[in-house]
Amino acid sequence: MRLVAATHNAGKAREIHALLDGHYTVVTAGELNLPEPAETETTFVGNAMLKARHAAQFSGEVALADDSGLSVAALDGAPGIFSARWGGPQKDFGSAMKKIEDRLEELGSADRAAWFTSALAVAWPDGPCVVVEGRIDGVVTFPPRGDRGFGYDPLFVPEGHDQTFGEMDPVLKESMSHRTRAFEKLKAALID
């Protein structure tokens, strides 16, 4: 069965392929030239549903969307749903990571607790939409380390590990990530 991955983010698309290839034929919204909707909702779940419904409506096929981001406890959960927007139009996550470091310094906060969230939504054209959320806790570390991931990966050290997501073998990241945890919940939600 074919599944439209409603993403224009190459890093996410790579991880979605790794999780679903062999089970589904995954084609991305970018490959289908689907328009990108404005992310106008106020939660990860809301934006994931918005993107999945939009892609299902435009493609006429079942669509899967991921809305995700990094939340820093001392910054009241920022950048959170604004994670992509902190990278700006140039998708400059070097600057976005520096902004997190600067804000923590301004606050004089030693609290480095952080978490990644992934909301996954599956929508059928003119049909239902199923949505779940996965999370992984850890800390942010400075300076950023590693170039094996994408986005904020070089900043994030998951609980119980020393390497950042950016330094880790992608298979190790996949074994524990927010996205994988959301996929596990999605599988359960679709089977029940």
How far the first Cα of the chain sits from its last, in Å, is 20
Interface of this chain with ligand ITT, residues 159 to 178, rule: CB under 6 A: 165, 177
CB 70 within 8 A of CB 150: no
Q: At what angle do helices 10-20 and 178-191 cross, to 10 degrees?
A: 50
Size of the site for ligand ITT (CB under 6 A): 23
Confirm whether residue 10 is marked as ligand binding: yes
**64 vs 104 by CB, closer to ligand ITT:** 64
Q: Among 49, 64, 84, 182, indicate the residue that binds ligand ITT (CB under 6 A).
A: 84
Region near ligand ITT per CB under 6 A, out of 5-13, 53-61, 106-114, 139-147: 5-13
39 makes contact with ligand ITT (CB under 6 A): yes
Q: Among 134, 138, 144, 149, indicate the residue that binds ligand ITT (CB under 6 A).
A: 149
Q: Phi/psi class of residue 88: alpha, beta or left (left: φ > 0; alpha: ψ in -120 to 50)?
A: left
Residue 9 backbone dihedrals phi, psi, to 5 degrees = -100, 115
Cis, bond preceding 170 (omega within 30 deg of 0): no
Residues labelled catalytic: 67
Interface of this chain with ligand ITT, residues 86 to 125, rule: CB under 6 A: 87, 93, 116
137 makes contact with ligand ITT (CB under 6 A): no
Measured CA to CA, the distance from residue 9 to residue 30 in angstroms comes to 8
Give the residue from 81, 67, 88, 91 showing the smallest Cα distance to 7.
67
Measured CA to CA, the distance from residue 118 to residue 97 in angstroms comes to 19
71 makes contact with ligand ITT (CB under 6 A): no
Q: Among 4, 52, 58, 68, indicate the residue that binds ligand ITT (CB under 6 A).
A: 68
Measured CA to CA, the distance from residue 119 to residue 125 in angstroms comes to 19
69 makes contact with ligand ITT (CB under 6 A): yes
Q: Among 83, 97, 167, 168, indicate the residue that binds ligand ITT (CB under 6 A).
A: 83
Q: Among 75, 80, 134, 150, indicate the residue that binds ligand ITT (CB under 6 A).
A: 150
Measured CA to CA, the distance from residue 92 to residue 150 in angstroms comes to 11
9 makes contact with ligand ITT (CB under 6 A): yes
Which residues are annotated binding-site positions for Mg(2+)?
67
Which residues are annotated binding-site positions?
7-12, 67-68, 150-153, 173, 178-179
